[in-house]
Amino acid sequence: MFVIGITGGIGSGKSTVSARVAQRGVPVLDADAISHELTAAEGRAMGEILEAFGRKAVRSDGSLDRKGMAQLVFKDRMALDRLSAIVHRHVLAVMGERLEALKEKGAKVVALDVPIPVKNGFVDVCDSIWVVHAGEPVRISRLVARGMKEDEARRRIAVQIPQEDYLALADEVLENDGDRDELERHVDRLLEDTLTTRGIRLPKDRQT
């Protein structure tokens, strides 16, 4: 089974690339979506988060208080690292389980959408890593357009790993300072080149 890893910093367009890959029929395991499952009420990660941060980390329904924790961790690097370590460990465990299940079902290709390209559980299982890259002004403008304040957007970018660290891992770089159509055409070309050269037929598009 050929594993494509898709990664990039906040506002880079990583989710757009993953959505296009999924539209082309490739199964995508989304770390953010898995994270939401794990931090929902009675999610796998909630016990450790409660132990580490106390009741202030939990909403009345038992799920993670994302807004409150975001305000804390994006001002406190140690708190961010602690929360990330808990969530990432569980996310990677679930991702590994789902990768194995897809392999057993005979999947020929799968993509992993991961915002932080950790070595164990991502880099070491990917056959090709795609890094989605955009300039900081473009990323900030996208985050502001989503409703984030500019200073918050800058802070979130600042606490992530540097762009050069992403690029150092890349087998392929998708520059995304342009429009969505241009990016999707690049994704289509990469998929065709990556899979057909390895004798893997691209699954039929989910949409026409």
Residues 6 or more apart in contact with residue 136 via CB below 8 angstroms:
157
Q: Are the C-beta atoms of 1 and 102 separated by less than 8 Å?
A: yes
**Tens digit of each residue's pLDDT (9 = 90 or more) over 128-142:** 999 999 999 999 999
The model carries a pTM of: 0.88
Return the pLDDT at 207. 45
Which domains does the chain carry? Answer: 1-27+109-198 (3.40.50.300), 33-106 (3.40.50.300)
**Tens digit of each residue's pLDDT (9 = 90 or more) over 28-80:** 999 999 999 999 999 999 999 999 988 888 999 999 998 888 777 767 778 87
Instruction: Label residue 18 by pLDDT band (50, 70, 90).
Output: very high
Per cent of the chain over pLDDT 70 is 97
* Rounded CA separation 113/1 (Å): 16
